[in-house]
Amino acid sequence: MIGYDNLAINRQIALDLPFREASGLITHDVAKPHHIASLAGHAPVWGEVALSGLGVLEFNGTSQYLEIPAADTQDLDFTGDFALAVWIHPVFGACDMLMCRSLLDNCGWEMYIDENASVNNYLSLRSNQAGSRTGAYASDFTADEWQLVGFDYDSATSLATAFKNGLPKVTTNNGGILDPIACGVTQKLLIGVQQGEISNFFKGKMWRPRAWPRKLGTAGWAQIFEYHRHWLGV
Amino acid sequence: MAEEDKVRGLSPNDLRRILGDALLAGVKLLGKKSDDTFENIITDDEGRLQVYDPKVGSLISYAGTTTADGAGDGSTLIDNVLTTEPDFDGNLVIITSGDYKGQARDIDGVTTGGTVTPLSAFGGQIVSGVTFVIAALRFTPAEVAAILAILSDVFDLVNALLVLTETGGMVTATGVGTEDNVYVNDDPTGVFKPLLVTIDLSDLAGGEVVTVRTYYRIAPGGAPVLKGAPVIFVGVQAEPLKDIELQPNRYGLEVTLEGTTGVVFPWEVFYKV
């Protein structure tokens, strides 16, 4: 038998939303913390990948997102190494939030995509500190196709590395990133919208947002890509 | 080529130092071959002798200079001359000048369009005017490619193994007459093996009731169908953890409860997926 927690990639995993419900207004975390993400009041649409039938969520870019209460997500208050990963099939807008638990120039982290035709779009990681913020970004994140995107953040070197489809991307760190400041119980985990829940809505399809309080490393990123790529036709 | 065919001689610079510029005027440097014929000795623009060694030459498929800037992240280099060359997909490309001199990558894609796509990006953008070499070296020979294909097949099987997974939550009963979802998988990707839902009835007090139902969909489309008789629990439970065993499924299932308003039911599910 293969046990979820016996897979090395799942060690210390703090969030894993595989969207298996395919109906309703909540979706459950299969990682140990059992986070429950709510769709209520701003529900993206349950859909599936035609190729495989894999269940995904479709966001309209104007009003739809997921949320998990601040009090339930203090285990996602990363202040050292961490990794964020999610499969996306984006329709680019100006700036679309993928995942965040943050308050701008105050605390926490956020990962978003930016439309920029000249560099085939950016994926950015932002870390917030008191009164300021630091960030990293990489280019070449294509619209209208499935791709596994995310970041490893290394606290010791203050460097983040972007990954796409299991491979590292050349990442600009602007002199280094500072560790995020803890948000405590003040900020929700939001998927598909920025804090405030009124702007920077993600448009497109999404599957399996995940987070770890550690880096995955090149081998780990290759593994999670190879493990699921066939479901998404990549 | 026979050993004696190798060209040996002084370079024009050597001769210029020995004879001086005046005496060198009009002199052509030739090399004598074993059949007593002569051929021009090739030098570069700075007069250095260029020796052709077929043993080395056989390793070089192509040497060129980029004609335009490649992708900003180093994932391509561009040389329009490649449109006149055969395809070098799978060979090794080596940067020989510029910021990323010395970096080598396997080529991952056809090159006859004038663009070389490395398997992984160079350290940064390969700008116009950078020299590079495509070596006749393939680090994924046919035998290795065959092994990789087999490994890929094995990996597909590994990916198909079901993984024991768990999740859970908490349901606050809406009230008698309304079914609340406990565990739902309404549209599985394929066959999977739900095993067990455990519901904690510790919050159920005297006079309160909860009814648990399990529904399965056994064909595509339509609503899930009730399976087995609803299970009814009334009042305080001496053994509050109740198990609902589940069956393999392909098209969807759900476990619901209908309970006294406000009673809270924590639950946990195990399934192989």
Among B73, B181, B189, beta carbon nearest to A139: B73
Is residue B6 scored above 70 in pLDDT? Answer: no
Are A7 and B163 in contact (CB < 8 Å)? yes
Are A34 and B188 in contact (CB < 8 Å)? no
pLDDT of residue B138: 81
pLDDT of residue B44: 65
What single letter denotes the amino acid at residue A108? G
Closest CA to A169 of A207, A113, A210, A214: A113
For chain A, what are the domain ranges? 2-232
Are A138 and B156 in contact (CB < 8 Å)? no
Q: What is the pLDDT of residues B96-139, one digit of tens each?
A: 999 999 999 999 999 999 999 998 889 899 999 999 999 998 87
Calpha distance B255→B269 (Å, rounded): 10
Closest CA to A70 of A198, A210, A184: A184
Closest CA to B264 of B146, B139, B173, B162: B173
ipTM: 0.91
Calpha distance B30→B10 (Å, rounded): 9
What single letter denotes the amino acid at residue B14? D
Q: What is the pLDDT of residues B262-273, one digit of tens each?
A: 999 999 999 999
Is residue B20 scored above 70 in pLDDT? Answer: no
Calpha distance A52→A47 (Å, rounded): 12
Q: How far is CA B95 from the centre of its chain?
A: 23
State the Cα torsion B26-B32-B33-B37 to the nearest 10°.
60
- Mean pLDDT taken over chain A: 95
Q: What is the mean pLDDT of residues A152-180?
A: 95
Calpha distance A215→A25 (Å, rounded): 31
- Mean pLDDT taken over chain B: 88
Chain A residues within 8 A of B124 when measuring between CB atoms = 170
Are B169 and A170 in contact (CB < 8 Å)? no
Calpha distance A124→A171 (Å, rounded): 9
Chain B residues within 8 A of A10 when measuring between CB atoms = none
Q: Work out the pLDDT band at B15, boundaries 50, 70, 90.
A: low
Q: What is the reported pTM?
A: 0.78
pLDDT of residue B224: 97
Q: Which residue has the tokens 């590079």?
A: B132
Calpha distance B251→A110 (Å, rounded): 36
pLDDT of residue B58: 85
Closest CA to B207 of B263, B264, B162, B151: B263
pLDDT of residue B54: 73
CA B78 to chain A, closest CA, distance in angstroms equals: 17
pLDDT of residue B51: 64
pLDDT of residue B8: 46
CA A71 to chain B, closest CA, distance in angstroms equals: 15
pLDDT of residue A47: 97
CB atoms within 10 A of CB B238: 4
pLDDT of residue A103: 95
Q: What is the mean pLDDT of residues B8-30?
A: 62
Q: What is the pLDDT of residues B35-64, one digit of tens each?
A: 888 777 666 666 666 666 777 778 899 999
Is residue B4 scored above 50 in pLDDT? Answer: no
Q: What is the mean pLDDT of residues A75-90?
A: 97
Calpha distance B18→A74 (Å, rounded): 82
Is residue A19 scored above 50 in pLDDT? Answer: yes
Q: What is the pLDDT of residues B203-217, one digit of tens each?
A: 999 999 999 999 999
Q: Which one has a higher pLDDT value, B57 or A53?
A: A53
Q: What are phi and psi of B120, to 5 degrees?
A: -130, 155
Calpha distance A30→A16 (Å, rounded): 6
Q: For chain B, give the longest Cα–Cα distance.
A: 121
Which B-chain residues 11-30 have CB contacts (< 8 A) with chain A?
Answer: none
Helices (H), chain A: 217-232
Q: Give the number of A-B residue pairs with CB atoms closer than 8 Å.
A: 76
Is residue A157 scored above 80 in pLDDT? Answer: yes
pLDDT of residue B152: 85
Quick one: closest CA in A to B70, which residue?
A: A119
- The pair of three-digit structure tokens given for residue A191, joined into one six-digit string: 């998927």
Q: What is the mean pLDDT of residues B176-189?
A: 96
Among A6, A27, A30, A137, most B C-beta atoms within 10 A, so best to mutate, is: A30
pLDDT of residue B1: 45
CA A25 to chain B, closest CA, distance in angstroms equals: 10
Closest CA to A148 of A227, A43, A81, A69: A227
Question: Cα angle at B105 between B100 and B110, to 5 degrees?
Answer: 120
Is residue A74 scored above 50 in pLDDT? Answer: yes
Q: How far is CA B110 from the centre of its chain?
A: 18
CA B122 to chain A, closest CA, distance in angstroms equals: 9
Q: What are phi and psi of B159, to 5 degrees?
A: -60, -30
Q: What is the mean pLDDT of residues B251-258?
A: 98
Beta-sheet pairing, B163-172 with A2-3: parallel
Looking at CATH, the fold of the domain delimited by A2-232 is given as Jelly Rolls (2.60.120)
Calpha distance A229→A148 (Å, rounded): 8
Q: What is the mean pLDDT of residues B83-106?
A: 95
pLDDT of residue A94: 63
Chain A residues within 8 A of B217 when measuring between CB atoms = none
